Amino acid sequence: MNEFPDITIIAKALSNSSKMKILDELMDYKGHTATELARASQITPQTVTHHLNEFLNNNWIRMEKSGRFHYFFLTNTDVAQLLEQLSPISPQKRARSLQRTLDLEKDELFRTCYDHMAGHIGVLIAQSLVTKKYLDSEFHPTELGITFLKDTLNIDTQNLHNLKRQFTTQCLDWSERQHHVGGALGHALFLSFAKNKFVVSHKSIKRALVVTSTGDAFLQEKLNIKL
């Protein structure tokens, strides 16, 4: 029989600003080398390597080798969800520059939350899906929603139930203080929006998303969202 979960492991990670900087960089759902993480987080390569080894032992991340490079990915969705849920109750620091303020505004407007859509537009999408009765109040697809998701976005909800992760979650958005769609369904929505070129990644701001003209038309016509 296993002992009680050791939550001190989580507390240890969250109490260290260097570890949090690395986890924040990995929240974009992309692979990063240790060198890239050190540069972005302004941490020494030795410290980054030490923390990455700890995350690997905790099964929070995975490493993928490509040629002579080693890429690290955040793969534990529970860790990503925990970080996002703690953000709304954490003290916020003031931006130190005008450029940082502008970047934050774009993040708050539309961004990725690990592997799904968040920010103001992410919340609007969730609210519209509920208003149109495609999702119920807990973000589970209705019969009408199952049809809409399949016919309009090519999302087979039955296949999502077979994945080894939570089907759908009400993920509390740190900037909006309201919920966006997370879990396997949230990820499927993001993949569909990206595949259909409704959204693209911002060219220079990490995790920020941009709605394309095609996406703007889709949001207006299908979800009654006017940006």
Q: Of the candidates 83, 80, 64, 60, which has an alpha carbon nearest to the alpha carbon of residue 72?
A: 64
- Residue 109, both tokens: 């407007």
Residue 96, number of CB atoms within 10 A of its CB: 8
**What integer is the mean pLDDT of 186-206?**
93
The dihedral built from the CA positions of residue 30, 14, 113 and 58, taken in this order, carries a sign that is: positive
Which domain covers residue 38, as residue numbers?
8-75
- State the pLDDT confidence band at 29, using cuts at 50, 70 and 90: confident
Query: How many domains does one find in the chain?
Result: 2
Which pLDDT belongs to residue 59?
87
Examine the domain organization and report whether 28 and 106 are in the same domain.
no
**What integer is the mean pLDDT of 9-37?**
84
Which pLDDT belongs to residue 183?
93
Gap between the Cα atoms of 164 and 194, Å rounded? 22
Tens-digit pLDDT profile for residues 4-14: 456 677 777 77
What radius of gyration do the chain's Cα atoms show? 18
In a domain, 1, yes or no: no
Contacts of residue 179, Cβ cutoff 8 Å, sequence gap at least 6: 123, 126, 139, 170, 171, 172, 173
In a domain, 162, yes or no: yes
Tens-digit pLDDT profile for residues 31-67: 999 999 999 888 999 999 999 999 998 889 999 998 8
Q: Which residue has the higher pLDDT, 100 or 53?
A: 53
Examine the domain organization and report whether 206 and 153 are in the same domain.
yes
Exposed / middle / buried, residue 216 (Cβ in 10 Å: 0-12, 13-18, 19+): middle
